[in-house]
Amino acid sequence: MTAYPLASVPSVVVLTTGGTIASRVGDDGVSTPGKVAVDLDAIAARLGVLVTVVDVLRVDSAAMSHTDLDTVSAAVQRALRPDVTGVVVLHGTDTLEETAMLVDLVHDDPRPVVFTGAQRTADHPDGDGPHNAELAVAVAADPDRRGQGVLVAFGPRVLRARGVRKAHTTELDAYTGVPATPTDSRITLTRNPIAGIRVDVVALYPGVDGVMIDAARHHGAAGIVMEAMGAGNANADVVAAVRRAVDAGIVVALSTRVPSGGVVTTYGGGGGGADLVAAGAVSAGETSPAQTRILLCALIAESKYDVAARFAAVVATPSTRASNQASAPSRTSVRIQA
């Protein structure tokens, strides 16, 4: 990791990608993204910061593709010139946690990259975009934020990108996660495009069978994320489908639909978390299904070999280490269907 000297006047690059912060409501009552209307010049003057704006995308974040995520990641990398103090990404809130996760996974630089957005459109009389943008620029310009990885500054909170989760569809305090602190132990990956890599999320529920896991296997998934019940549980049909997927060279990650806490593979009985891990699934610990999917994509993009073992290293906590050590031996490589 290169050490960049502090500038006398902080310089922040703001990347715009669309989202609600750049949206206006039309005559039909429907909002669509356009050009960001936040007065970034006024923010720069108040904070005593040089701000450069780069228009990267103009898209609703729910419509973003893997190619778009790659575009944002590459734009962040380009923006981190030697004279830059930090980077802000203005992003739609629907998938901010995915893009922030991808950028954090490949961010091997002490300077802060800060994601933010808005819950209210730019033309709302009491919009939250200006506050969030100013908070994000201030965080990106703060030398004390160096070494904290990629951050999310939103409402009253500054959170780590890894573990952040949108917790409310409309409230201004929209995200939960871990408060930002230095992250010396954070594992980073080499930056490779995730476009073309298919990783599916399968929701589990009472009475679920293995049809969706089998469908993902048949349709070329290189990875599957199970959004399991409770602490990571399912049933015998799902266990059998996991075994078929792992035998086919697919990495299967076990996460939970529960917003707080993580996977704890203590239940058996033929369909519990212990049985899923024994069938070859790898525990995602406290990583959400959405961020687990991005992590698998990034790992597969880096190398198709030993994905399960490398995945386990990134999400490692004492509980996930115990779970993943009990899993079936990982396959040498995953399949990637052209």
Enzyme catalytic residues: 20, 93
- Within 10 angstroms of residue 263's Cβ, the number of other Cβ atoms is 33
CA gap 14, 318 in Å, rounded: 38
CA gap 252, 199 in Å, rounded: 9
Element (H, E) at 89: strand 86-90
Two structure tokens written together for 276 = 């899923």
Element (H, E) at 16: strand 11-18
AA identity, residue 234: A
Q: Are strands 150-154 and 157-160 parallel, antiparallel or unpaired?
A: antiparallel
* Spatial CA neighbour of 251 closest among 291, 207, 273, 284: 284
H-type alpha helices, 121-210: 129-141
- What's the N-to-C CA distance of the chain in angstroms? 34
146 exposure class (CB count in 10 Å sphere: 0-12, 13-18, 19+): middle
